[in-house]
Chains A and B, each alone.
Chain A
Amino acid sequence: MLNFETTVQDSKSYGDLTLSEVEPILKINLRSNKREFSTKIGKLLSIIPPIEANTSSGNEDYSILWLSPDEWLIYSNKKTPYEQQNLLEENLFNNISYTNQGSVTNVTDHWVMINLKGSKIYDLLSKSSPYDFKNFKMKKGSVAQTLLNHTDVILHNIDDNNINLFVRRSFSEDLWLWINDSARFL
């Protein structure tokens, strides 16, 4: 096997706030506006991609985040070894892309997933995100695509004061530094 090297490779805490990269996590981008797409995904993963904006669906193994009316992000809720990632990707690709039901694209290393936990995570985010977290905060499973320190992020509320943040790999170190810098002053 090749050496696996992510950007953050670290976990930090500030008071009750903890920040850590979670890896390896499978991430797959789905796009489709075909009618049978949803049923097919349902059959393959036992989860239906959400239709409602800013929400997610999921089971023990996977979450599906709504990104746009024809776009979703699947990610594994547990650490997933490479071979297993590969199998799922191929399975999805063969059943969706290959049958022209939409597109399946592996974006595992496109996004870095950082988990933020603690009572002050929304104070942290409000330092540089124009997003109004009021509803997001209250509803478990909420999804927000917005800006954090001028960087595109996807946020997924997985529990009270517990969110997964997705940032593009090339921006991740920069954002990680910013998050840590800001966390010092909460």
Chain B
Amino acid sequence: MSQELRINNNKFIDQTTRLSFKFNGEKLYGYKGDTLASALLANNIHLVGRSFKYHRPRGIMTCGSEEPNAIVQIGNDPSLTDPNVRATEIELYEGLEAFSQNCWPNVKFDIGGINNFLSPLLPAGFYYKTFMWPASFWEKYEFFIRHSAGLGKSPSKPDPDIYDHKYYHCDVLVVGGGISGIMAAKLSAENNNETLLLDDKNTLGGATIYQNNDCFQIDGTHTNYWLEKEIKKIKNIKNLTIKTRTSLAAYHGYNYLLAKENLTDHLSPDERKGKIRQRLWKIRAKKVIIASGSIERPLIFNNNDRPGIMLSSAIKKFIDFYGVKTGKEISLFTNNDSAYETVISLKKSGVNIVSIIDIRDKSSSKIVKEVEKHNIKIYWNHTIVNTEGYRRISFIEIMKLSDDGSGVIGKKIKLKTDCLGISGGWTPMVHLFTQSGGKLKFRSDDNVFLPDKNKTPSDQISIGSCNGDFDIKDIILNSNRDVKTFLGIESSPFDNLKVESSKEEKKKNIWLLPSDKPIGKTKPFLDFQNDSTAKDVKLALREGFKSIEHVKRYTTTGMGTDQGKLSNMHALGIIAETTGTNMGELGTTTFRPPYTPLTFGAIVGRNIGEFFDHIRKTAMHNWHVQNKAKFENVGQWKRAWYYPKNGETMFEAVQRESKAARESVGILDASTLGKIDIQGTDASEFLNRVYTNAWSKLAIGKCRYGLMLNEDGMVYDDGVTTRLGENHYIMTTTTGGAANVLSKLEDYLQTEWPELDVYLTTVTDHFSTISICGPNSKKILSKVIPDLDLSDQSFPHMSFKNSKINGIKCRVMRISFTGEHSYEINIQSNYAKNVWELCMDAGKDYNITPYGTETMHLLRAEKGFIITGQDTDGTMTPSDLQMDWIIGKKKFDFIGKRSLYRSDTIRDDRKQLVGLLTDDPREILEEGAQIVEKLNQKPIEMLGHVTSSYFSPNLNKSIALAVMKSGKKLKGKKFFVPMENKNINVTVTDTVFFDKENKRLNA
């Protein structure tokens, strides 16, 4: 380790704990407390990556989340590797391995660097302009672009890490643990507010915690000492929860905020095992205090992107906080006073300052005077016109600014320097404020967009430098005042603090600093990651782009992973200047969440794998599993699909099950059907209104099939409803429709028909349903419930009986969805598996065959029974389904009745349900296949499509249901179903294929 760049006795770095890490394969050392960036700089490594388009060498530029250049790949494990990590944010741990991105074969020699020399050929919109044409070449272009571009590698294997979610409710949320955030948190928590304080760093205190400078004092001590004491004190406040390493990602309406807490990214791989990696906080705060701070602006001048050129504030943090000298011969280039704070810090640590280049004429503030005492050369009214040094800055060239600042004059001075700090003023971090719906106003003194107090959503304030206060005196005074008002606090321990600071007196701003060369020959970078320069923005304007949102996308300025945090303001400034617009009127591009990138892991939390979606199971589920059922997802339910035996294919199993159900007896778990208990004196009237058919005359103990429509007349759901008593019914719905039907019925009862005395209660999970079907079903049931009279006279089709099985009450319905003689046993779910087993036992001698949903679908298709959602799609009326018989025409009204004779619903060329038979009975149609009449037509007219299709073992031929234009009139006509390799000949038939006379119901 290059010890000469490290300062001893730094309180933020634990120099007793040495950590080894690797960068691009080279083994290096740092200390506990370092970030990867500070450790690299301590090893004298500035060059860390290449730019996106020109592949120019780029170095560490900042010390925070705004970093555009030092973007690295962490680790190379195919499931754990993490791309696009900012070296300035990742904390060093033992064994960290990092790699430069976006360069090949390596960061020092990068083939793509040739683009740098081609750069005159790669202006803004180059890709859009060039690769547009010819369109057929796009795939070839894409191959090339994908290879030469690229920001890191995605992991290729599933992420084994654990991610957690947490909902959190508090009175006050304080975002940012800098000096104003600390003050706010203290005021809030000590005044009886449940308070949460978040900071994205591992230490609180923001930039003040290392501001150890005579010019800035609170109550007679340096600001850092004062703040340190305050932080110690707030850690003991009961109402205050502090979360460090937690970054606010999004601020939504109603003070709903998302924050990501990093729990293990700073630990060595061994220490991480079994722990939660990141936690997504979903915060609801009654009030929010934003103290998100500000980011220093760079300056835009020719070749301002070389490694070693850094923000002045970053140089200061590296020396004051991390104890790392970023160079030995440092120069500073500024338009404001804050660079002078860096100078004092560097001087204290014995770093040689080459010179200060200040574009202002003069400044006589306290801090400037302090610097002047050190005898450092300050070039007032000068600018940098060029820099040199390929992998690291080596020289700067400076010239005097002309009177109006638009050009340079005089002699060029060349200065040797190995690190250049640039300072272009400060940009308040208003991202969160605008995400929440706040509007900005422009302050022209120092060209900043600030939260507009009059256009701030209620229950939030911004304080500190994100609110435009940059002087420590203003920060303390205004934060204290604003928080007190916001939280209704009368007095505060900060009321009478004595604060000393250096007041900045002069400001000057030039968005694009001039060079002695014409702009076309310069490279003043705006977006360092995307390589867009000031001249790209100007070109875009010349080409007619006016909206800033368009300029952004055309030039890609602000579209890197830093999302324009660093220099979007300069782009806006240059646009405003070039077009002669006021910046306030121009506005900003939209700040969208997340503020810093979120991992997919944090977003999904534990809802992966077995928790990806709910799994609903019936009471007989384990029986199905033990009997090797294959399962089908129906909504969230797992339903037994078929039960393959001895290596059967699905087709074979379904053929066997279907035959057994018709020839002897089959058993089906029908528990997933929705069940609604309906009680009340108006229950019959209610059913009259919700179903198309009539219900008043249904006798107690009888069942009836009902069809439910939407108000638009389209079939919505269907099922059998049973009259249990005078004012008591049980309705069944489809599996998928259960929740929606209940909510729709509640809707009508609560809003349209509140006068009806009807109560609905779902009992879907209370009852399990076992359906026994086939000519031997009666024999099975008589064994399971011996004392039940099963004679047709006493227990005919479409009726029900209360009974008991071994002392447990049950309801038995004689209803059929297969056309066979069948029964449904409804019993409390906790006993259902046992009853199922009893049925299986009772059926042994009759080859009782469990069948799944596929066989059920096949059997009902043989009978032409529809499945809502399969044969209907929300555009089918009962008449379209050839079910006119179920319309109670004499009824005064029911849901959807009026729609049944709208001009559109009575058209006779609507798609209507038909049966289809293939000319070759062995040919099975594909569901969804289109039906046509003329094969040679162009474009071919599609008349309809297949909705259900099976091979019927009971008819020994293929059968299908389909919807076809004017289908009702097409019986006997021939059509084609064109497939990829052949055209299948089909004939339209009746929808009922099997037992048209319904003889089997009573067999």
Contact = CB atoms under 8 A, between A and B. Distances in A.
Interface stretch (A10-18, A44-52, A100-108, A113-121): A100-108
A91 interface: no
A8 B807 CA distance: 24
A58 B669 CA distance: 38
Contact of B834 (A2, A107, A169): A2
A43 interface: no
Given A97-B728, A108-B766, A170-B616, A129 B167 contact: yes
Nearest to B810: A2
Contacts of A106: 763, 766, 828
Contact of A170 (B618, B806, B807): B618
B681 A3 contact: no
A86 B637 CA distance: 30
A126 B167 contact: yes
Interface string A122-159: 00001111111110000000000000011100000000
B277 to A, nearest CB: 11
A107 B761 contact: yes
A109 B759 contact: no
B617 interface: yes
Nearest to A167: B765
Interface string B819-843: 0000000001111011100000000
B611 interface: yes
Contacts of A29: 761
B617 A173 contact: yes
Interface in A69-95: 70, 82-83, 86
A5 interface: yes
Contacts of B617: 7, 170, 173-174
B811 to A, nearest CB: 12
Interface residues of B, number: 52
Given A2-B835, A126-B167, A174-B615, A105 B805 contact: no
Contacts of B162: 185
A82 to B, nearest CB: 7
B610 interface: yes
Nearest to A104: B679
Contacts of B808: 1-2, 82
A2 B806 contact: yes
B764 A170 contact: yes
Contacts of B679: 31, 97, 102-105
B628 to A, nearest CB: 20
B763 A110 contact: yes
Residue with the greatest number of chain B CB neighbours at <10 A, chosen from A97, A105, A151: A105
A127 B164 contact: yes
A2 B768 CA distance: 14
B727 interface: yes
Contacts of B166: 126-127
Contacts of A134: 169
A98 B727 CA distance: 8
B282 interface: yes
A105 B276 contact: no
A151 B613 CA distance: 10
A126 B605 CA distance: 13
Nearest to A177: B610
B206 to A, nearest CB: 29
B681 A170 contact: no
A6 interface: yes
A10 B657 CA distance: 36
Interface in B186-241: none
A23 B606 CA distance: 29
Interface string B159-191: 000101111110000000000000000000000
Residue with the greatest number of chain A CB neighbours at <10 A, chosen from B282, B617, B637: B617
B615 A173 contact: yes
A2 B606 contact: no
A70 B165 CA distance: 35
A130 B831 CA distance: 35
A83 B615 CA distance: 32
B615 A109 contact: no
A170 B765 contact: yes
A170 B284 CA distance: 31
A129 B759 CA distance: 29
A23 B830 CA distance: 10
B680 interface: yes
Interface string B70-97: 0000000000000000000000000000
B611 A108 contact: no
A171 B618 CA distance: 9
Contacts of B805: 2
B764 A103 contact: no
Contact of A171 (B616, B766, B834): B616
Contacts of B765: 109-111, 168-170
A150 B614 contact: yes
Contact of B761 (A103, A127, A171): A103
Interface in B620-659: 637
Contacts of A127: 164-167, 606
Contact of B616 (A31, A103, A132, A174): A174
Contacts of B618: 170
Contacts of B168: 126
B422 interface: no
Nearest to B838: A2
Contacts of A170: 616-618, 637, 672, 764-765
A31 B761 contact: yes
Interface string B745-781: 0000000000001011111111100000000000000
Contact of B284 (A104, A110, A132, A174): A132
A92 to B, nearest CB: 12
B619 interface: yes
B369 interface: no
B553 interface: no
A134 B169 CA distance: 8
Nearest to A168: B765
Contacts of B828: 106, 108-109
B830 A128 contact: no
B756 to A, nearest CB: 11
B990 interface: no
A3 B834 contact: yes
B783 interface: no
A170 B610 CA distance: 16
B429 to A, nearest CB: 28
A32 B760 CA distance: 10
B362 interface: no
A100 B726 CA distance: 11
Contacts of A131: 167
A86 B276 contact: no
A31 B746 CA distance: 13
Interface in A21-40: 23-24, 29, 31-32
B829 A109 contact: yes
A110 B764 contact: yes
B757 A130 contact: no
B282 A130 contact: yes
A168 B617 CA distance: 11
A60 interface: no
A4 B831 contact: yes
7 contacts: A82-B807, A97-B727, A102-B759, A103-B679, A127-B606, A149-B607, A171-B614
Given A70-B759, A103-B677, A173-B615, 19 more contacts: A2-B834, A4-B830, A4-B831, A5-B619, A24-B830, A86-B809, A97-B728, A98-B725, A102-B759, A105-B679, A105-B761, A108-B828, A110-B766, A134-B169, A149-B611, A151-B614, A169-B765, A169-B766, A181-B606
Interface of A: 1-7, 23-24, 29, 31-32, 70, 82-83, 86, 97-98, 100, 102-111, 126-134, 149-151, 168-171, 173-174, 177-178, 181-182, 185
